[in-house]
């Protein structure tokens, strides 16, 4: 497989060097080769040598070593038009596993994922608000259940736990109807340390919207764009920024704090509200509950009751307008190739939101700007947990795992309600 010219690969810095005189080059070259194979799906040793400029002997030694360790497997020979038949090499789905945890304001998701991204087990717990005592008790039990669901051999290949959680999760208690005393427990709580008390696995923590962006970058529409803006619509809206196939964290790891973007009112007379107040699910779900229906209807692939459909249509009208203004602001700063919108809703509703946002964006004065392609995401509600599960796999196998700037604890960011990444 040939990578396009002048196009780097996700989590692969363009200036990453290959060579035989570097310290730690063996492990570095192993990670580069694993990365190329993951991006390719399957590829021959000769093609890997051509892409990396490593000798065929060096590539063969590395590949054979990775096959012995169980990370790679050989596929049946493929006969080409000229020369000897090639033997494609691919990732072994059972070569490594990770656990992804999404701690949300209305639900807790935990999944086990294979090296190739296959979800082996998924458990979900819904709640009215996140009580940390209850949340970590559920996590302890679920991690044990997920480990026991693996065979002894596969359990030995579990490389770590990745956690996706909102920064400032203890804030916004009024918006979600949570007791202030319970939510304040999060203020001085270290998520990583709390999970490490009951496991000896490596634990990595990231913002939930950032994790969702990573999932879209690795497994979804992000593979088609070098530079894109990502929106994830959950209880609160958040997002991420990808530049040249690299997740961009920002100087203070605050890039993609889209929920905090001020959006002017329709008549221009009222004080601008943040995007979080106009394009988040907590408003929509609360209105649906007040009408006597379950918010889970938003996740189901079936026709909505007339009352709920009217509520959703009204919300989409408001949210799409706010998203259009946010996009106009964003593309005036960065020349995005694409914009991806995903969320905790059915694909049909996400598509409706995308279509209406495009129409609203077309009505704005965008003279001097280039409008990027705007598309729905493909991962859906599991994006945050899936992104969490990616973290330990990249920590162990990516060419440069430091590209994902993780925090060891959420409160390190020292966010408050006015600058929280949601």
Instruction: List, in order of start, the domains of the chain with CATH numbers.
Output: 25-91 (1.10.10.10), 97-212+383-413 (3.30.420.40), 223-378 (3.30.420.40)
pTM (whole model) above 0.75: yes
* Burial grade of 82 (CB within 10 A; 0-12, 13-18, 19 or more): exposed
Q: Which contiguous run of DSSP H or E holds residue 338?
A: strand 338-343
The total of other beta-carbon atoms located within 10 Å of residue 361's CB is 22
What pLDDT was estimated at residue 416? 33
> DSSP alpha helices (H): ranges in 177-256?
180-183, 191-196, 208-219
The total of other beta-carbon atoms located within 10 Å of residue 330's CB is 19
Count of CA atoms in the C-beta half-sphere (13 A) of 232: 33
> Which contacts (CB < 8 Å, 24+ apart) does range 12-16 have?
12/245, 12/399, 12/400, 13/246, 13/399, 13/400, 13/403, 14/244, 16/399, 16/400
The CA-to-CA distance between both ends of the chain, in Å, stands at: 39
- Gap between the Cα atoms of 232 and 151, Å rounded: 34
What pLDDT was estimated at residue 400? 64
Q: Which residue has the tokens 């949300």?
A: 104
What pLDDT was estimated at residue 252? 81
φ, ψ dihedrals at 70, nearest 5°: 90, 5
- Gap between the Cα atoms of 3 and 182, Å rounded: 51
What pLDDT was estimated at residue 162? 97
Of 105, 98, 37, 97, the C-alpha closest to 66 is: 37
Q: Which two tokens stand for residue 255?
A: 């890039």
Q: CA dist 101 to 125, 137, 188, 402, Å?
A: 11, 13, 20, 20
pLDDT tens series, the chain, 422 aa: 222 233 333 333 333 333 333 436 678 899 999 989 988 889 999 999 999 999 999 999 999 999 999 999 999 887 765 666 789 999 999 999 999 999 999 899 999 999 999 999 999 999 989 999 999 999 999 999 999 999 999 999 999 999 999 888 888 787 788 899 999 999 989 999 999 999 999 999 998 999 999 999 988 988 889 899 999 999 999 999 999 888 888 888 788 999 999 998 776 677 889 999 999 999 999 999 999 999 999 999 999 999 999 999 999 999 999 999 999 999 999 999 999 999 999 999 999 999 999 999 999 999 999 999 999 999 999 999 999 999 999 889 887 655 443 333 333 333 333 322 22
How many residues can be counted in the chain? 422
What pLDDT was estimated at residue 403? 46
What pLDDT was estimated at residue 18? 36
The residues near 161 (Cβ < 8 Å, ≥ 6 apart) are: 98, 99, 100, 101, 143, 195, 199, 201, 202, 203, 204, 388, 392
The total of other beta-carbon atoms located within 10 Å of residue 242's CB is 26
What pLDDT was estimated at residue 81? 55
């Amino acid at each position: 497989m040939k990578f396009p010219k002048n196009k780097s690969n996700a989590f692969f810095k363009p200036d990453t060097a290959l060579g035989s005189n570097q310290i730690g080059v063996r492990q570095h070259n192993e990670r580069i080769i694993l990365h190329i194979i993951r991006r390719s799906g399957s590829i021959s040793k000769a093609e890997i040598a051509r892409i990396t400029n490593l000798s065929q002997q060096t590539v063969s030694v590395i590949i054979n070593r990775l096959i012995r360790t169980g990370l790679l497997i050989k596929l049946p020979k493929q006969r080409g038009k000229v020369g000897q038949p090639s033997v494609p090499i691919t990732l072994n789905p059972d070569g490594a596993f990770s656990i992804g945890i999404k701690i949300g304001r209305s639900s807790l998701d935990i999944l086990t994922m294979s090296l190739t991204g296959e979800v082996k087990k998924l458990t979900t717990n819904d709640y009215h608000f996140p009580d940390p005592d209850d949340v970590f008790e559920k996590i302890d039990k679920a991690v044990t259940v997920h480990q026991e669901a693996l065979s002894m051999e596969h359990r030995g290949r579990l490389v770590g736990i990745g956690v996706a959680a909102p920064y400032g999760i203890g804030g916004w208690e009024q918006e979600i109807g949570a007791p202030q005393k319970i939510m304040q427990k999060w203020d001085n709580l270290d998520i990583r340390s709390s999970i490490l008390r009951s496991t000896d696995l490596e634990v990595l923590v990231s913002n939930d919207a950032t994790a969702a962006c990573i999932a879209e970058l690795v497994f979804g529409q992000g593979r088609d764009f070098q530079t894109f803006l990502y929106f994830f619509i959950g209880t609160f809206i958040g997002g991420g920024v990808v530049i040249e196939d690299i997740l961009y964290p920002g100087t203070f790891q605050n890039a993609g704090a889209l929920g905090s973007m001020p959006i002017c009112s329709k008549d221009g007379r009222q004080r601008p509200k943040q995007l979080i107040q106009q394009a988040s699910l907590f408003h929509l779900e609360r209105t649906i509950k007040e009408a006597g229906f379950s918010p889970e209807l938003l996740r189901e692939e079936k026709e909505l009751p007339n009352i709920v459909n009217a509520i959703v249509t009204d919300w989409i009208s408001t949210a799409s307008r706010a998203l259009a203004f946010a996009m106009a602001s964003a593309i005036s700063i960065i020349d995005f190739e694409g914009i991806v919108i995903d969320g905790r809703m059915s694909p049909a509703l996400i598509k409706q939101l995308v279509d209406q946002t495009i129409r609203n964006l077309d009505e704005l004065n965008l003279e001097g700007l280039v409008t990027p392609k705007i598309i729905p995401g493909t991962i859906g509600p599991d994006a945050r947990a899936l992104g969490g599960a990616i973290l330990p796999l990249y920590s162990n196998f990516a060419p440069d795992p430091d590209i994902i700037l993780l925090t060891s604890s959420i409160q390190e960011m020292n966010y408050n309600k006015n600058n929280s990444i949601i």
